[in-house]
Amino acid sequence: MVQPMLQVDGVTMKFGSLVANNRVTFHVNKGEIVGLIGPNGAGKTTLFNCISGFYTPTEGRVVFRGTDITGMKPHLICKLGLTRTFQIVKPLKEMTVKENIMTGAFLHVNTRREAEESADEILEMTHLHDKRDQLAGSLTIADKKRLEVARALATRPDMLMLDEPMAGLNQTEVKEVMELCVSLKENGLTLMIVEHIMEGIMPIADRVVVLNAGEKIAEDVPEVVVNDENVIKAYLGERYHAQSKKS
Amino acid sequence: MIEQVAVSGLLMGLIYALVAVGLSLTWGVLDIINFAHGEYLMLSMYTAFWLYTLFNMDPYVSLPLAALLIFVIGYLNYKIVIKKVIDAPGLTALLATFGLSLLFRNLAQFFWTPNIRFISNTIVTDKKIELGSVVLGMPQLVAAIGSIIMVFVIYHFITKTKIGKAIQATAQDKSTARLMGINTEKIYALTLAIAGAAAGIAGSFMSTFYPVYPESGMMYGLLGFVIVALGGFGNIMGALYGGIIIGLAEAFGAYFLGTQFKYAVVFLIYLVVIQFKPRGLFGW
Amino acid sequence: MVIIRDILRDQKKGIAALLVLIGLLPFIIQDNNFRHVMIMFVLFAALGQAWNIITGYAGQTSFGHAAFFGIGAYASTVLLWKFDVSPWIGMLVGGIIASLVACVVSYPCFKLSGHYFAIATLAIGEIMLQLFVSWEYVEGATGIMLPIKEKGLLNMQFHPANKLPYFYIIYLLFVLIVSIAYIIERSKMGFYLKAIRENPDAAMAIGIDTTKYKLYAMAVSAFLTAIVGSFYAQYVMYIDPFMVFALRISMQIVLLTVLGGLGNIFGPIIGSAILIFLSQYTRIILGGTGKGVDLILFGLLVVVMACYQPNGIVGLFRKFVTKRRREVGVHGTADVAG
């Protein structure tokens, strides 16, 4: 059997008496785009934090390419090839766009020249080239989101976890992010994307995991998930389903 | 002997608490370390000294005047300086308050010389109370009692009055406070003014037993930071307990290890506590 | 102003030009008083530069750098005084001890956030002061008068009337520290430190071991601060704990760097120039009456700068340059970022 890229195994995260994630199990295969969706407060970001090492799960295991990374420090997880972005963008404000990306690139190179070369490539790929000398703090929200992805890409991950990369963007910008994700997939990258914008995630995802109130309620290809009784009830009923009926 | 040490430490701790309360409010509400806080204390002590020297006013009589004066200084500090730096990034606010502290301290030195002065004849000078084996100096006793009363008055003001609640709301979430119609500008100014008044009162009390010179507020300002960080900033009761802990630590440190170590003990306790409670003992 | 623009545009040339200028001044102006002022200026600029590494680049506010300054001063002094060891070796020993102390005491404090870390460093500085005040082996509060040794470079002692050798020693140390700061700023470490300053979570997420890099920065900063401390002791020939472990020293380093411009090579140089020349010359002009006029002026300047130019004097220049560039319509992509 082919080992999955990421295996999340019965992950539970409690904050005092609050259960943010309850025995969540799913996996991500190499080369896949997996969407992680669910209504607000479903525990998506908490799960993200558990996987990326920002939280240590109360119970359960996270295995990345055969290595148990449960409770490992975030920077070590990143070194293993699993890099995340943040829902609330965290630009290195007083550094330029290029310097932001170079900082990511330094994970695998030591000299400034190599980092610059690496950053130039990613600037092209993410269409940030024209803005390379702007301070990251002065970017528009769309560009900050893009930079967030670009900086993560610079660490040359095998798998990228994006936390709501499309939130707050207009339609054209959402399209651009979708295209970027697809092209990354074509380049062999594995992606896991938390997203609220169904129009953005459904067309590109190979599979979708749905969380509700901390529990996984569905996991399947998008076409099946959108017709899943539980999912519609929990979440999609209010938004995507209604919209797709309309159209 | 041990009782004497404990009681002296406790009295000092209560005075520290009053110094720290103002600092804690400033820290909690405005999110700045006010380096000039110790200088408020010093200015208040000079106020007491001059009113005593020129008009023969007892420090207890001039206390309201000193409190009012430092209240105004705190208010003006906000309006003229702090207001401009409160949202500035990094170390700007710190730079501003440190500049103010330099300014006050050296103005005091310029006008009043670096000489050490005493208020030699107040109604409590040299008076003592003996309780069994424990001897209490009247000046310290009055200062401690006055301080704890003031701490509770401020606590009551912050937790029970409408303005106090507005101050708390501002401390917790500035933008929400604004949405609720609180004039945060006014709250900031008032907070710094109240902090000043508290330091003013503490300074008046201290002038009855502590020498007055341009740097007399410095060590107290420093201890104030430690007390506030120990108690958890923005927390008035935290400042009270922090003050008492530091007062006792200082007294026992001096007793067991020698006076030269008393502050080392104080700072060491802070470093140890903060390892277990990174946001102070009573921090939010 | 064109010069300033060019300096900011090409950092390397700018720094080199400034260093050469500083190095030549005491050679040209043969006034001992001026040379003394230059020594103090370069000394504090070096201290600011060293502090900048942990606070300006890595964003960890230290109010306790006097601890490392003092360790450096005492290490070389005690070695010379008790064991007849050359101050050059003492300097290295002091730097290493300071680095070790810095790592041991700051490691547990790195988990503290913002003000709590700053107050912890302040506490560390004060504890050092108290310890040395009561440490009899190093003469406690009495302090140590350095023994007179054979004059020459080996013992770092020269004829007191000739300040030039002292100047060039501290100048070389200063150039060394500036070079290290420059190299760090442009290297992987500099990028990592700035990332930690700007956003620790983002830094971790892209694979930066934040604790390790903060420790590196602290160790380097403490080492460099200590070697300057060693020089200071050799220069003034007498030290006591209140001179070298004073909170005043820690805060002077903070102030001059923030005033000049945090996280920038020029910042500490400009800040130190203002602080030292202001204090030395107001003292000369107004007479050394201990009235503290220099500090009144400095305090005022600091307050005004904080209110109106929070990015320090370097920020002021930069604003001017950007404005000018816009006016003359130059669309260069000059590397003026700090």
Amino acid (1-letter code) at residue C217: A
> Which domains occur in chain A, in start order?
6-189+197-207 (3.40.50.300)
**Helix, strand, or coil (residue B208):** coil
CB contact under 8 A, C292 and B229: no
How far apart, in whole angstroms, are the C-alpha atoms of residue C303 and residue B203? 24
A chain contacts of residue C192, beta-carbon cutoff 8 Å: 103, 106
Q: Confirm if C52 and C257 have CB atoms less than 8 A apart.
A: yes
A157 Cβ under 8 Å from any chain C Cβ: no
pLDDT at position C160, please?
77
How far apart, in whole angstroms, are the C-alpha atoms of residue B256 and residue A7? 59
Shortest alpha-carbon distance between residue C186 and chain A (Å): 7
C127 Cβ under 8 Å from any chain B Cβ: yes
Q: Confirm if B243 and B237 have CB atoms less than 8 A apart.
A: no
Rounded to 5 degrees, what are φ and ψ at B118? Answer: -125, 150
Residue B24: name the closest of B280, B275, B262 by CA: B280
**Helix, strand, or coil (residue A160):** strand
**Helix, strand, or coil (residue A1):** coil
CB contact under 8 A, A75 and C337: no
CA closest to C197 among chain A residues: A92
- β-strands C238-239, A207-212 pairing: unpaired
For B216-251, the pLDDT digits (tens) are 898 898 899 889 888 887 788 899 999 999 999 999
Q: How far is CA B5 from CA B10, B148, B241, B250, B253, in A?
A: 8, 19, 18, 10, 10
Written as six digits, the tokens of A193 are 């994307």
How far apart, in whole angstroms, are the C-alpha atoms of residue C5 and residue C322? 9
Q: ipTM > 0.85?
A: yes
CB contact under 8 A, C199 and A95: no
pLDDT at position A207, please?
94
Domain B2-276 is of which CATH architecture? Orthogonal Bundle (1.10)
Rounded to 5°, the CA angle B40-B45-B47 comes to 95
Residue A101: name the closest of A160, A61, A156 by CA: A156
CB contact under 8 A, A78 and C204: yes
pLDDT at position C325, please?
60
Mention every residue, 6+ apart, whose C-beta is less than 8 A from residue A77: A52, A53, A64, A69
CB contact under 8 A, B96 and C296: no
Q: How confident is the prediction along chain A (247 residues), in pLDDT tens digits per residue?
A: 578 999 999 999 999 888 899 999 999 999 999 999 988 888 899 999 999 999 999 999 999 999 999 999 999 999 999 999 999 999 999 899 999 999 999 999 999 999 999 999 999 988 899 999 999 999 999 899 999 999 999 999 999 999 999 988 889 999 999 999 999 999 999 999 998 888 889 999 999 999 988 899 889 999 888 888 888 887 655 555 445 544 4
pLDDT under 70: residue ranges of chain C: 1-10, 287-291, 322-338
pLDDT bin (cut points 50, 70, 90) of residue B79 is very high
pLDDT at position B211, please?
92
How far apart, in whole angstroms, are the C-alpha atoms of residue B12 and residue B140? 7
Domains in chain C: boundaries: 2-328
Q: How far is CA C109 from CA B215, B231, C99, C115, in A?
A: 29, 17, 15, 11
Residue A104: name the closest of C209, C191, C263, C59 by CA: C191
C204 Cβ under 8 Å from any chain A Cβ: yes
SS (H, E, C) A24-88: EEEEECCCCEEEEECCCCCCHHHHHHHHHCCCCCCEEEEEECCEECCCCCHHHHHHHCEEECCCC
**Chain-centre distance for alpha carbon C192:** 21
Domains in chain B: boundaries: 2-276
Which residue's structure tokens are 């790592």?
A: C103
C chain contacts of residue B99, beta-carbon cutoff 8 Å: 255, 298-303, 305-306
Written as six digits, the tokens of B132 are 């069994």
Domain C2-328 is of which CATH architecture? Orthogonal Bundle (1.10)
Q: How far is CA C241 from CA C132, C135, C140, C222, C226, in A?
A: 6, 10, 7, 18, 14
Q: If contacts are CB pairs under 8 Å, which of residues 226-255 in chain C contact chain B?
A: 247, 251, 254-255
For B178-206, the pLDDT digits (tens) are 888 888 889 999 999 999 999 999 999 99
pLDDT bin (cut points 50, 70, 90) of residue B126 is confident
CB contact under 8 A, C305 and B95: yes
SS (H, E, C) C92-160: HHHHHHHHHHHHHHHCCCCCCCHHHHHHHHHHHHHHHHHHHHCCHHHCHHHCEECCCCCCECCCCECCC
pLDDT at position C116, please?
84
Residue B24: name the closest of B201, B179, B212, B236 by CA: B236
For C215-254, the pLDDT digits (tens) are 999 999 999 999 999 999 999 999 999 999 998 899 999 9
